Amino acid sequence: MRIKEVDLRIINLPLVRPFRTSFGTQYERELLLMKITTQDGSEGWAECVAMSEPLYSPEYTFASQDVIERFLLPKIFEAGDIRAEEVADLLRPFLGHQMSKACVETAILDAQLKLEGISFGSYLGSSRELIDCGVSVGITSTIDALAQEVSQYVDEGYRRIKLKIEPGWDIEPVRVIRELFPDMPLQVDANQAYSREDADHLKQLDPFNLLLIEQPLDEHDVLGHAMLAKVVKTPICLDESITSLESARDALALKATTIINIKPGRVGGYLESVKIHDLCVENDIPVWCGGMLETGIGRAANIALASLAGFTLPGDTSASSRYYHRDITTPFVMQDGQLRVPSGPGIGVDIDLDFIDEITTSRKLILAP
Ligand code: OSB
Ligand code: MG
């Protein structure tokens, strides 16, 4: 497959409600969209999950656009005839930038699979047609507001609730939600907001029968997570720290994590995600699919990934309506707490180009030399 042109745009989509985490509040989702057109007439779409500011990871939207344009695409163009399976090795000399690399690889994979008439799900190794949905709930101004929001999600059918926590917003909100929903699978995500000294504090979460505590400590403090895991009974699940197959292997060896959140953008793409999934299956480590407030484009591929056999826990793969009043694809509608894995070729969703045009804030067309 040879790439003819690449259409890079930045779009801005308002969120249905502000999303507050320990690292900041998002009111809208700014993100980079990529469409590649190949010489044989296929098209591939991907979104880069980097956020507008480098608060969750070092990457951010405009940096992604820059590194893609300046380094990643020239390398791909230079290769000429290309398959998605070759992209990661080709881009390996450029350090970091997993989200940007994932975007390039995914757009190429989408075009390739569309040409071959294969869905993402079948290509990645799907084991089911429906996936269980969880929902990630931001920090709210009051515990009452949180209880209201969680109740709405429970009524909608979500099968697992994840509460964002930070110092000052942890034990009490968890206690209240646990009392309201004694049997609901419940977990928390700190996005690195705590330090090693907080072990005794975090131990207070143990009575609430949580599935896991996600990324309590700094991304680089894998050893700290291993130490914390010895003190706290609730399982530790790494998110930010897992940036590759190697880092997953090391974190497991250190017993810093006993459950893994796989986010394709964070680890450099869907192919690396499958490798991490396989490693976890071999080691009896449960995995679940994380989210980055994706639009329908990234969601479609995430849902395909979440249908692999090792994804035994509900992921942050929520319905379109959890995030956006209007999605940029045919919306994902949840039924009985589940979403259907798209079965059409490639990511398998229809793109709403008119709407994308409406919310595009900048656009660049890059022709292959
Ligand atoms: O840490 O999982 C996270 C969103 C943006 C950045 C980081 C995270 C999240 C979420 C929301 O928790 C997941 C989603 O529903 O897409
Ligand atoms: Mg997380």
**145 pLDDT band (50/70/90 cuts)?**
very high
Q: What is the distance between the alpha carbons of residues 96 and 69, in angstroms, rounded to a whole number? A: 15
- If you write DSSP's letter for every residue of 120-170 in order, what string do you get? HHHHHT---SEEEBEEEE---SSHHHHHHHHHHHHHHT-SEEEEE-BTTBS
**Beta carbon of 191 within 6 Å of any ligand 1 atom:** yes
Domains of the chain, start order: 3-117+352-367 (3.30.390.10), 122-340 (3.20.20.120)
Mean pLDDT computed over every residue of the chain: 98
Tokens read off for 192? 């690195």
Check residue 302 and give its pLDDT. Answer: 98
Q: Quick check: CB of 56 below 6 Å from ligand 1?
A: yes
Give dist(CA 360, CA 227) in Å, integer.
Answer: 46
Give nearest CA residue, ligand 1 atom 9.
Answer: 292
Sign of CA dihedral 134, 161, 264, 320: positive
Structure tokens at 170: 């942890």
d(CA 292, CA 51) in angstroms, rounded, equals 8
Pocket test for ligand 1, best of 15, 16, 17, 21 (most atoms within 8 A of CB): 21
Mean pLDDT over 32-52 rounds to 98
Residue type, 178: R
pLDDT digits (tens, 9 = 90+) for 61-115: 999 999 999 999 999 999 999 999 999 999 999 999 999 999 999 999 999 999 9
pLDDT of residue 242: 98
Q: Are 279 and 248 in contact (CB under 8 A)?
A: yes
3-class DSSP assignment, residue 199:
helix
Instruction: Establish whether residue 315 lines the binding site of ligand 1, counting it when its CB lies within 6 angstroms of any ligand atom.
Output: no
Segment 249-269 shows an average pLDDT of: 98
C-alpha neighbours within 13 Å on the C-beta side of residue 56 = 24
CA distance 183 to 14: 33
Q: What is the pLDDT of residue 263?
A: 98
* Cβ-proximal residues to 55 (8 Å cutoff; 6+ apart), any chain: 23, 24
Tens-place pLDDT, residues 192-229:
999 999 999 999 999 999 999 999 999 999 999 999 99
Q: For residues 202 and 200, give the distance between their C-alpha atoms in angstroms, rounded to a whole number.
A: 6
Per residue in 171-200, pLDDT tens?
999 999 999 999 999 999 999 999 999 999
Q: Tens digits of per-residue pLDDT, 294-337?
A: 999 999 999 999 999 999 999 999 999 999 999 999 999 999 99
Model pLDDT, residue 285? 98
Residue with tokens 């071959």: 116
292 lines ligand 1 (CB under 6 A): yes
The percent of residues above 70 in pLDDT, for the chain, comes to 100
Residue 226 near residue 197 (C-beta atoms within 8 A)? no
Ligand 2 centroid from CA 218, angstroms:
12
Task: Return the pLDDT at 17.
Answer: 97
Phi-psi region of 116 (alpha: psi -120 to 50; beta: other; left: phi over 0): alpha
pLDDT of residue 157: 98
- The per-residue pLDDT for 189 is 98
Question: Using CA positions, which residue lies closest to atom 12 of ligand 1?
Answer: 136
| Residue to mutate (ligand 1; options 293, 313, 320, 327; most atoms within 8 A of CB) | 293
pLDDT at residue 38 in the model: 98
pLDDT single digits (tens) 225-246? 999 999 999 999 999 999 999 9
CA distance linking residue 227 with residue 350, whole number of Å: 47
**What does the alpha-carbon distance between residue 307 and residue 197 come to, in Å, rounded to a whole number?**
38
Beta bridge partners, 12, equal: 30
Contact status, residue 215 vs residue 136, Cβ threshold 8 Å: no
Nearest atom of ligand 1 to the alpha carbon of 191: 1
pTM of the model: 0.97
Give catalytic residue positions.
Answer: 164, 263
Q: Is the CB of 136 under 6 A from ligand 1?
A: yes
Pocket test for ligand 1, best of 292, 313, 318, 327 (most atoms within 8 A of CB): 292
Q: What average pLDDT score do residues 43-49 get? A: 98
